[in-house]
Amino acid sequence: MYNTQILRKNLQKRGVILLISLFSLNVFAFDAGGDSHTTVVNPLATKTSGGSQKPDLITNMDELMARQPNPNVNVNGVGIYVYDGMFSLDALGPYQVFKSAGLKTFLIAKNKGTVTMSNGLTLAVNKSIAEVSKLDVLLIPGGAGATAMQTIDPEVLDWIKKIDETSIYTTSVCTGAWILGATGLLQGKDASTHWYRANEMLTKYGAEYTGKRWTVDGKYWTSAGVTGGVDMALALVNHLFGKQYTQAVMLDMEYDPKPPVQGGSPKKSDPIIAQLMKDMYDFFLINFVNCPLGTPGACLFN
């Protein structure tokens, strides 16, 4: 770990500030495995002191440094707001993209401790909203009923509005736009969200549904459902650091998607399947959809 820090400092001095996170992913991986295999020498120890044995590596490191992206906007902290019942990939897809891109990225919940996602998995969360008063980037993930509940939680809405006062980018994924909409911040804006009754929901919040994979309106970035967050996060990386750096992140994740069948949007799906999915969501959410803005919580599901 000590050697890792020395390497990190040296590289930073020489200009590799951003790609280092891609290194640190690997460094972490070594550290994690190291505890139970103490005979394994830290690879960084030999590399940092033995660079002269590998001149080609040094050459390439210099080459790498020459490619340091010049950010269009300096972003120092990406906070992802998380809550019980959220959709896992809404938060964790963008989290991985931002982390791979070297951005300081962390989860924030109403109360720190743990959050259990809609798929039943539980994540540790180390920051509470009370501890965070400023973020360069805020991202709000979506969900179903749990997200509807967030839209009527004044403490959450007030915190988002406070963060938005000084944020550089305020963003949402999927039905996270419902929460963002409930703060009033999408009023008069174009936006994306999950396809389910997207027009009705965004109209309620004074926004216009674009149907795009992600929408940028001023500092507000919003994406389509669930997996749309990965594309939006990569688009933000592209906006900040340019195409080559985005390609580096995409290579790290081998992001060259090939869905096995056509689909993923109502228009690309069998109309019967799209209708059934809408009906299924209606079964749980239609009362919330029809609930006038500002109605107390008891309206939502009765």
Where in the sequence numbering do the catalytic residues fall?
Answer: 174
Minimum CB distance to a second copy smaller for 13 or for 258: 258
Residues 158-197 within binding reach of a second copy (CB under 8 A): 174, 194-195
CA 209 to chain centre: 20
| Cα separation, 155 vs 118, whole angstroms | 22
Minimum CB distance to a second copy smaller for 5 or for 46: 46
- Asked if 275 is part of the footprint of a second copy (rule: CB under 8 A), the reply reads yes
Stretch that binds a second copy, among 133-141, 177-185, 200-208, 278-286 (CB under 8 A): 278-286
| Cα separation, 107 vs 128, whole angstroms | 9
Stretch that binds a second copy, among 53-61, 70-78, 133-141, 160-168 (CB under 8 A): 53-61
CA 291 to chain centre: 29
- From residue 126, give the alpha-carbon distance in Å to each of 5, 76, 85, 209: 23, 18, 18, 34
- Asked if 250 is part of the footprint of a second copy (rule: CB under 8 A), the reply reads yes
- Asked if 132 is part of the footprint of a second copy (rule: CB under 8 A), the reply reads no
The residues, ordered by sequence, that sit 6+ positions from 83 with a Cβ below 8 Å of its Cβ are: 109, 110, 115, 143, 146, 150, 156
Site string for a second copy, 202-241 (x = CB under 8 A): -----------x----------xxxxx-xx--xx--x---
- Asked if 144 is part of the footprint of a second copy (rule: CB under 8 A), the reply reads yes
Q: Please list, residue by residue across 64-95, b when 16 or more beta carbons sit within 10 angstroms of its beta carbon and e when fewer do.
A: eeeeebebeeebebbbbbbbbbbbbbbbbbbb
Minimum CB distance to a second copy smaller for 152 or for 186: 152
Residues 12-41 within binding reach of a second copy (CB under 8 A): 19, 22-23, 25-34, 36-37, 39-41
One residue of 107, 135, 137, 291 binding a second copy per CB under 8 A = 107
The residues, ordered by sequence, that sit 6+ positions from 117 with a Cβ below 8 Å of its Cβ are: 84, 85, 86, 87, 88, 91, 123
- Asked if 116 is part of the footprint of a second copy (rule: CB under 8 A), the reply reads yes
Stretch that binds a second copy, among 43-51, 129-137, 161-169, 179-187 (CB under 8 A): 43-51
